[in-house]
Structure 1
Amino acid sequence: MPSRWLLSILTLILASAIVVACNGDNENTETSGKETDGGKPDDFVTLKMIMPGDESARMREFVDNELNDRLKNDLNMKLELTYIPWGSYQQKLELSLSTGEDYDLFWHGTPFVSGYKSKGYIQPLDELLQKYGQNLIKNIPAENFKLDQIDGKQWAIPSQAFTSAGKFTSVMVRQDLLESVGMTEIRTIADLEAFYRKMHAIDPSYYGYLETDRGHEVLWRELSGENLTAFDERNLFAVNEDTGELVNYVESDLYKKVAHLREDWVKKGIIDKNLVGNPQSKIDQENAGKLLFRVGAVSRAMENLQTAQKADSGAKLREYFLAPDKPRYIVAPSNEAYMIPAAAKHAERAMMFMNWILKSKDNYNFIIFGVEGKYYRIENGKIKLLTNDQLMYEWMWRNKNYFTAPTNVPDDVVRDMLHNDDNAKISRLFGFHFNEEPVKKEMAQVLTVYKEKFDLINSGLVGYNSGFSSAMTALKKAGYDKVFAELKKQFNEFNAGRP
């Protein structure tokens, strides 16, 4: 980590978190008699929670029996868990939030917090966190909480507390297949193309594939001579980490380079036309062990290994950074956010439940892996998983204080994760939230046009030369320049307030 500058930032952030916790305001909490943090509430409630994923019979059995038995004993509550498949999660989640369904807790990525706050979908958590979240405060660094603070209030719990530098800018590869064709590592775009070419010659059922949404940043490391960080996953704007200037990415020469590369990859078959625009097909192919590479996420080689080995017992995964000598930046030390809806009936119990997860390593392992001896066991300091699914994704709650690597994850992959943030730099975007309210009409129009016109260019299905000009005209007509001007205004004000 950078030394003096980072230390001063973290000191200020810690002070900010303490002030917010002491002066927070929460307007939608239960009023019946409850004990403070650590005590068992008086009344029994059913906590309704939304999570992404596909529920297995084992997960349902665990919730209905061991988990709810313990939650009744510890928190006098029952967990009613609704799973929504990944491919339709955001759409169905937003429908539930916009119609005021009485869910008490849900997960989504940190970039969604600001938008959900602006739409009135979620409630501030400061008072709840101070009263019922002492284990969260103890085990999650203060700088993580800063990510979800807007207008002086805390709007989400940043559940993950692990290494994060360069998240979504690495590429994860099937290391076993890479080695099978005589290669050892990935350092360049040419390496990725060679890997695909050699594997495709052996077995054409394997796909290349690098996501056409978050995959831009992976390629930027090699295609740009500058150090750029995307403003968010929509890939409209970026920040130049060297100069501090915001970059109009879609009108840049870099965007043109990425689009031409994607077009070339479609011609070569690296990007398969049948996978583009079909999230479920992508997931199915990865679950079947047919994807050679995809966007990494610092810990994805560990997270996806069990699924890969279910399809191919000899599968190995590894993450690499293109242009590995370029710096890595910490934008968000936690990309995971648990939010409490404005319409929640049991907001206090939702906070108590999250706090309970980090109360002890036993609770942490229990909620993620299940019953020790039945669903997992400890072997030589690692976790031996005895099932192929988890109730709650481990990466959503990964915490340095409680983390134990699975037995099937090689030591070099664990070492990559634990040392990922060594010598990392703090991004200029750290802690910045774009308030879209002044341009919400234009932003909605821009995103609609971008999805309609630019997704095809991003995927390589429509050539840059043939499609960009008309797409850009439509984007500007939708209000793109106004959105960019407002973003720059807010970002400059944010920078003016930096120490």
Structure 2
Amino acid sequence: MKPAVIGTVAVLLLAVAYVIFSPYLSQGLSHKPQSPNADSADHGSEPFVTLKVIMPGDQSARMADFVENELNDRLRKDLNMNLELTYIPWSNYQQKLELALSTGEDYDLFWYGASFVSVYSTKGYIQPLDRLLNAYGKDLIKHIPDENFKQNRIGGKLWAIPSQAFTSAGKFSSVMVRQDLLEKVGMTTIKTTKDLEQFYERMHAIDPSYYGYLETDRGHELLWRELTDRNYSSLDERMLFMVDEDSGEIVSYVESDVYKKVAKLRESWVNKGIIDKNLVGNPAAKIDQENAGKLLFRVGAVSRAMENLQAARNADPNARLREYYLAEDKPKYITNPSNEAFMITSASNNPERAMMFMNWILQSKENYNFIIYGVEGKDYELANGKIKQLTNDQLMYEWMWRNKDYFTAPASVEDDIIDDMLANDENSRMSKLSGFHFNEAPVKNEIAQVMAVYKEKFEPINFGLASYDQYYEDALASLKKAGFDIVFDELKKQFAEFQLQH
């Protein structure tokens, strides 16, 4: 056979073989299909994206530098993405966040407290996460208890990632005090509201630039512990309703005797100067005073003494903080096992990558420490098994991510504070409200009207600025006229249905 003919036959045989065997060859030669839970290095096959995240507070200089350089370098390598953070000051976080969500801006991910999950899912601002979690969240599932996820399930769907998995009983029902100043005036502990008053009076006599101040937008549950022998938990931050943990009934807080006691106590504190009129209803001013080291006490949050210590010491190197419960023998309740919630917006262009990013944080202790504390040797170091921060600049908020599997105590915090925090959930009880979400859709118009009246007429009473005796009856009549009883009836109906299912 001539060489030309042999060559032609060979080419034809190769072509036939390629047609026959190409499916098998391509399977062996091509990249493997992307596994949703593959190691982070495999995510290089994903298209490069910029993940747009909203966070509360003010971005520090080091945080901006860290995100732009070390963090985004790591995220490009591990997830083929970078992070674009938009910070909104605490003082108007809710207002500006909701504006962005309601106008459909293309942010991917944001943080807020767990009580807002139901509200935002009802308004259509966020998307369900079951598919994304199952596909891309194996490390979230591994390191966050199932009961934490349950609290964010509404209508059988998951709507938020409960990023914190730590102690949570009695959250926002303790008081955090400047322990160093408490001891300076000859006191050692706080057990009653009278103790708080005495602390303020003694310190104010030494230096009147210090403020007492106990938040009036929170703190009602703190005072309930002393002002009633019942055990109550608040439905949400709007302070309209509560559950009686002893009877299991939903109660109208604004119509209760304990509301009257709280209002009158706060009114007396305004008159004594313990609650300063210039701080009431002005979160920005309160934060400024706390950062200046001038607040003697505020509402605690299980671990706030640890979280706020660095800020306090920036103002006063000798500052020490500690949290106390009034009526310390009363039980503490867990309403939300995780008060922190990250939600993926309905307008997100990158929901898969948002879930991958959240999972990446808990993928290893190295990632966890990196995003919270920065670069080891530059931003922090390990000293005797504790975290010693080398910069005063805030990076990511540690409390948003605090996880029992990865937690390392800060070197600057005294051991007794850490011991208090780690033992906080001992002998605690699950709240009757745990897992319950009020679907506001059937009464959304009435709620809008009720909240408008509440803000106008009840908040001044809450703050202690308006006399309960003088203004309460008119405020309640206006609330009823706005549709309060309709909202209350719908709430009781839904809660009864919830109780039957649990």
TM range (shorter): over 0.9
- Structure-to-structure mapping, 1:313-324, within 5 angstroms: 313-324=317-328
Q: Is residue 97 from structure 1 mapped to residue 101 from structure 2 by the alignment?
A: yes
The reply to whether residue 377 of structure 1 matches residue 394 of structure 2 is no
Structure 1: runs of 5+ lacking an equivalent = 1-32
Deviations for 1:204-256, whole angstroms, at most 9, x for unmatched residues?
A: 00000111011111100000010111111111111110111111110111111
Deviations 1:340-367 (A, max 9, x none): 0001000000000000000011100100
Q: Does 1:177 align with 2:173?
A: no
Is the CA contact 1:275–1:282 (under 8 Å) kept in the aligned structure 2? yes
Residue 18 of structure 2 corresponds to: none
Per-residue deviation at 1:40? 1.0
* Amino acid in the other structure paired with 1:165: A
1:354 alignment partner, one of 351, 358, 363: 358
How is 1:41-440 mapped onto 2 (pairs within 5 angstroms)?
41-42=44-45, 43-440=47-444
Looking at structure 1, the residues matched to 391 and 481 of structure 2 have their Cα atoms a distance apart, in angstroms, of: 52
Q: Which amino acid aligns with 2:365?
A: K
CA distance in 1, matches of 2:172, 2:396: 21
Matches of 1:191 and 1:139, distance apart in 2: 40
Does the aligned pair in 1 maintain the 2:61–2:393 contact within 8 Å?
no
What secondary structure sits across from 1:294 in the alignment?
strand
Output the amino acid matched with 2:250.
L
Residue 285 of structure 1: CA displacement? 0.3
**C-alpha separation in 2, matches of 1:326 and 1:393:** 31
Aligned-pair RMSD on alpha carbons?
0.8
Task: Name the SS of the counterpart of 1:364 in structure 2.
Answer: helix
- Between the aligned partners of 1:234 and 1:50, the Cα distance in structure 2 is 23
SS at match of 1:239: strand
For 1:228, give the aligned amino acid.
Y
Corresponding residue for residue 11 of structure 2: none
**Distance (whole Å) between structure 2 residues aligned to residue 445 and residue 63 of structure 1:** 42
Q: 1:379-427: per-residue Cα shift (whole Å, max 9, x none)?
A: 0010001112332100000000000111111000000110000010111
Identical-pair percentage:
71
Kept in 2: contact 1:122–1:339 (CA 8 A): yes
Answer whether contact 2:232 2:242 (CA < 8 A) is retained.
yes
Q: Distance in 2 between the 1:214 and 1:284 partners?
A: 18
Alignment match, 2:36? 36
Q: Tell me, yes or no, if the aligned pair for 2:44 and 2:77 is still in contact at 8 Å.
A: no
Is the 2:300–2:323 contact (alpha carbons within 8 Å) kept by the matching residues of 1?
yes
Answer with 1 or 2: which has the greater Rg. Answer: 2
Shift of 1:35: 4.0
Moved over 4 A (4+): none
Contact (CA 8 Å) 1:34, 1:41: kept in 2 or not? no
Cα deviation digits, residues 70-97 of structure 1 (max 9, x gap): 0000000011111111111111110010
Q: Distance in 2 between matches of 1:391 and 1:406?
A: 14
Could you tell me how far apart the structure 1 residues matched to 2:394 and 2:364 are? 18
Gap runs ≥5 in structure 2: 1-32
Name the aligned partner's letter for residue 76 of structure 2: K
Provide the C-alpha distance between the structure 1 equivalents of 2:392 and 2:437, rounded to a whole number of angstroms.
Answer: 37
Indicate yes or no: 2:487 matched with 1:483. Answer: yes
Q: Does 1:461 align with 2:472?
A: no
Partner residue in 2 for 1:16: none
Q: Is the contact made by 2:60 and 2:394 (CA closer than 8 Å) also made in structure 1?
A: no
Q: Equivalents in 2 of 1:172, 1:448: separation in Å? A: 31
Once the two structures are superposed, what CA deviation does each residue of 1:442-472 show, in whole Å capped at 9, x if it has no partner?
0111111111111110111100011111111
Deviations 1:107-149 (A, max 9, x none): 0010000010000000000000001000000000000000100
SS, match of residue 257 in structure 1: helix
Question: How far apart, in 2, do the equivalents of 1:80 and 1:409 lie?
Answer: 32
Counterparts of 1:286 and 1:34, CA distance in 2? 49
CA–CA separation in structure 2 for the residues paired with 1:65 and 1:497? 50
Match for residue 30 of structure 2? none
Distance across 1 between alignment mates of 2:332 and 2:141: 27
In the aligned structure 2, how far is the partner of 1:142 from the partner of 1:276?
Answer: 39
Distance 2:49 2:240 in 1: 44
Q: Is the 8 A contact 2:192 2:226 kept in 1?
A: yes
Q: Secondary structure at the match of 1:40?
A: helix
> 2:17 corresponds to which residue?
none
Distance across 2 between alignment mates of 1:90 and 1:162: 25
* TM-score normalised according to structure 1 size: 0.93
